[in-house]
């Protein structure tokens, strides 16, 4: 808008200059008497002075408008930059390219060969021949730090929903997953592939590594990027018994599925209990569908990941960049979906759990931000302040879908708690 108005202003100045030149030429071409010449000179001078004053006033107004626009733009840029950590955006655009995606020197794998230095690959536009080569299944990429007590339930649930493999990246310094996986049943060991991935703010890098490994191996058609406090819920399990049934219903041109959160609060629990999350927290507020989304993507597209909530991707033989869509085909731009589409599928987000578990984040930090970044977060306030915040929303809606699915499909697990 600024450049357009400036252009219009320049046209006004040129038009004014043209009129002045024409007037001067007409005056020079005439041969008036001394008296008429004097009068003509006075008239020309007055007209020129008046026009110049109007022109200067117009330029002054335009410069003021341009200054306002400049201030707004600079202010917006400063706001975005200052909020990048809060919003989860980064100034670096994390891309893998698959030619040199990050690898970890520490590997511990079960039921899959060790991946040490993946070779470069040239991505191709997805076609029918290539799709036939890709294993028709879905996998999950997840990274953890000091949250192992929640994983048995989470793994069993999602495997029962149809996710074939869990790629678990361990962000702990001492590789705590190595000891944990050795104590699990052979069934879980066969499902889980473990990689040690220490360091600060490693979530996006770990996800891109996971994506690249799966893409190159063509081991799964779809990949999800969810946390251990997020449970995929298919609303109509009779229509879509497994996750691939729902994914197969999507059109071929939909390369990503954005899924909205449904948040669950603390349900009045102050302390941690050694029971499944989906058993302890079965109540939520009436309107707890969030704008925030997480995504599942087809494995054979090239990713560009701003953060775990914001993924875009392309077919590398084209210049087109694709965004995710929800289950009803609405395009999702960025990390949120204002349609809040949860009729087919939702991501149940047990965002706080108990007061004790909520505040535990302050002690351990997480895989997206360092511990120092968490010190300013609201859940690091006093117990009284945090509890007051958790109590703001009533939770009258009973919703036990995840626990019911576990009871039906993994009864040997749920019977331990009933």
Question: d(Cα 98, Cα 209) in Å, to the nearest integer?
Answer: 9
Residues 308-322 have pLDDT tens digits of 888 877 665 555 667
Tell me, what's the pLDDT at 35?
41
Question: d(Cα 231, Cα 161) in Å, to the nearest integer?
Answer: 10
Domain span at residue 9? 2-83
Q: Are 215 and 79 part of one and the same domain?
A: no
Tell me, what's the pLDDT at 303?
74
Tell me, what's the pLDDT at 58?
62
Q: Binning pLDDT at 50, 70 and 90, where does residue 279 land?
A: very high
Q: Are 24 and 49 part of one and the same domain?
A: yes
Percent of residues, the chain, with pLDDT higher than 70: 64
Question: Residue 358: which of 225, 268, 261 has the closest Cα?
Answer: 268
Torsion of CA 383, 384, 385, 391, to 10 degrees: 100
Burial class (CB in 10 A: 0-12, 13-18, 19+), 403: buried
Q: Are 191 and 253 part of one and the same domain?
A: yes
The answer as to whether 92 is a domain residue is: no
Question: d(Cα 133, Cα 135) in Å, to the nearest integer?
Answer: 6
Residue 366 has pLDDT above 50, yes or no: yes
- Which DSSP symbol is given to 120? P
Q: Are 69 and 111 part of one and the same domain?
A: no
Which is more confident, 207 or 43? 207
Q: Degrees (nearest 5) of the Cα angle 295, 265, 390?
A: 125
Residues 3-39 have pLDDT tens digits of 433 344 444 434 433 433 333 333 333 333 434 444 4
Q: Are 74 and 154 part of one and the same domain?
A: no
Task: Give the range with max mean pLDDT: 24-38, 49-63, 108-122.
Answer: 49-63
**Beta bridge partner(s), residue 289:** 262
* Token code pair at residue 152: 């048995």
Question: d(Cα 309, Cα 327) in Å, to the nearest integer?
Answer: 16
Q: Are 155 and 210 part of one and the same domain?
A: yes
Helix/strand number for the chain, H first, E second? 15, 16
Q: Are 253 and 392 part of one and the same domain?
A: yes
| Distances, alpha carbon 181 to alpha carbons 151, 152, 173, 384, 388, in Å | 10, 10, 16, 37, 38
Counting every residue written for the chain, the total comes to: 418
Q: Are 68 and 188 part of one and the same domain?
A: no
User: What are the helix (H) ranges across 111-258?
Assistant: 128-133, 151-160, 176-182, 186-191, 203-217, 243-248
The answer as to whether 90 is a domain residue is: no
Which is more confident, 64 or 68? 64
Which is more confident, 300 or 15? 300
pTM value? 0.71
Residues 154-195 have pLDDT tens digits of 999 999 999 999 999 999 999 999 999 999 999 999 999 999
Q: Binning pLDDT at 50, 70 and 90, where does residue 226 land?
A: very high
Show contacts of 242-245: CB within 8 Å, 24+ apart.
242/161, 242/162, 243/138, 243/161, 243/162, 243/163, 244/136, 244/137, 244/138, 244/162, 245/162
The answer as to whether 309 is a domain residue is: yes
The answer as to whether 88 is a domain residue is: no
Question: Residue 113: which of 188, 157, 158, 165 has the closest Cα?
Answer: 165
Residues 248-275 have pLDDT tens digits of 999 988 989 999 999 999 999 999 999 9
Q: Are 335 and 410 part of one and the same domain?
A: yes
- The strand order across the sheet containing 321-322 reads 94-95, 302-307, 310-314, 321-322
What phi and psi, each to the nearest 5 degrees, are found at residue 231? -120, 125
Q: Are 216 and 149 part of one and the same domain?
A: yes
* Token code pair at residue 167: 């790629």
Q: How many structural domains is the chain composed of?
A: 2
The answer as to whether 317 is a domain residue is: yes
Burial class (CB in 10 A: 0-12, 13-18, 19+), 60: exposed
Q: Binning pLDDT at 50, 70 and 90, where does residue 369 land?
A: low
Residues 93-113 have pLDDT tens digits of 222 222 223 333 333 333 322
Tell me, what's the pLDDT at 119?
28
The answer as to whether 93 is a domain residue is: no
What phi and psi, each to the nearest 5 degrees, are found at residue 56? -65, -40
The answer as to whether 77 is a domain residue is: yes
| Structural domain ending residue among the three candidates 18, 48, 83 | 83
Tell me, what's the pLDDT at 375?
66
- In the predicted model, what is the mean pLDDT of the chain? 76
Residues 372-403 have pLDDT tens digits of 666 677 778 899 999 998 888 889 999 999 99
| Structural domain ending residue among the three candidates 30, 48, 83 | 83
| Structural domain ending residue among the three candidates 19, 53, 83 | 83
The answer as to whether 72 is a domain residue is: yes
**CA count, 13 A, side-chain hemisphere, 145:** 23
């Amino acid at each position: 808008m600024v450049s357009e108005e400036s252009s219009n202003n320049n046209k006004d100045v040129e038009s004014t200059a043209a009129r002045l030149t024409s007037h001067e030429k007409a005056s020079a071409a005439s041969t008036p008497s001394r008296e008429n010449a004097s009068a003509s000179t006075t008239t020309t001078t007055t007209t020129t002075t008046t026009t110049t004053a109007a022109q200067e006033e117009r330029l002054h107004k335009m410069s003021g408008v341009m200054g306002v626009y400049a201030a707004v733009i600079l202010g917006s840029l400063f706001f975005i930059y200052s909020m990048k950590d809060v919003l989860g955006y980064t100034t670096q655009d994390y891309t893998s390219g698959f030619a040199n995606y990050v690898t970890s020197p520490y590997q511990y794998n079960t039921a899959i060969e060790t991946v040490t230095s993946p070779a470069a690959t040239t991505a191709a536009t997805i076609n029918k021949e290539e799709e036939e080569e890709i294993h028709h299944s879905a996998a999950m990429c997840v990274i953890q730090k000091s949250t192992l007590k929640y994983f048995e339930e989470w793994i069993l649930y999602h495997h029962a929903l149809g996710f074939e493999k869990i790629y678990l990246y361990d962000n702990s310094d001492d590789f705590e997953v190595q000891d944990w996986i050795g104590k699990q049943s052979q069934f879980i060991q066969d499902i889980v592939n473990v990689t040690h991935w220490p360091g600060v703010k490693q979530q996006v890098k770990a996800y891109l590594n996971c994506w690249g490994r799966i893409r190159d191996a063509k081991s799964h058609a779809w990949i999800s990027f969810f946390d251990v406090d997020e449970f995929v819920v298919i609303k109509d399990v009779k229509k879509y018994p497994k996750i691939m049934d729902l994914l197969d219903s999507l059109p071929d041109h939909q390369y990503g599925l954005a899924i909205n959160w449904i948040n669950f609060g603390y349900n009045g629990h102050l302390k941690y209990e050694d029971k499944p999350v989906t058993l302890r927290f079965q109540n939520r507020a009436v309107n707890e569908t969030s704008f925030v989304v997480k995504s599942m993507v087809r494995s054979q597209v090239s990713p560009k990941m701003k953060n775990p909530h914001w993924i875009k991707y392309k077919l590398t033989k084209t210049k087109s960049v694709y965004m995710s869509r929800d289950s009803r085909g609405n395009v999702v731009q960025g990390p949120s979906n204002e349609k809040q589409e949860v009729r087919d599928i939702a991501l149940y987000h047990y965002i706080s759990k108990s007061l004790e578990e909520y505040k535990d984040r302050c002690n351990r930090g997480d895989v997206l931000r360092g511990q120092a970044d968490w010190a300013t977060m609201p859940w690091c306030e006093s117990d009284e302040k945090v509890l007051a915040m958790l109590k703001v929303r009533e939770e009258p809606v009973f919703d036990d879908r995840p626990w019911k699915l576990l009871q039906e499909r993994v009864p040997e697990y749920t019977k331990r708690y009933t």
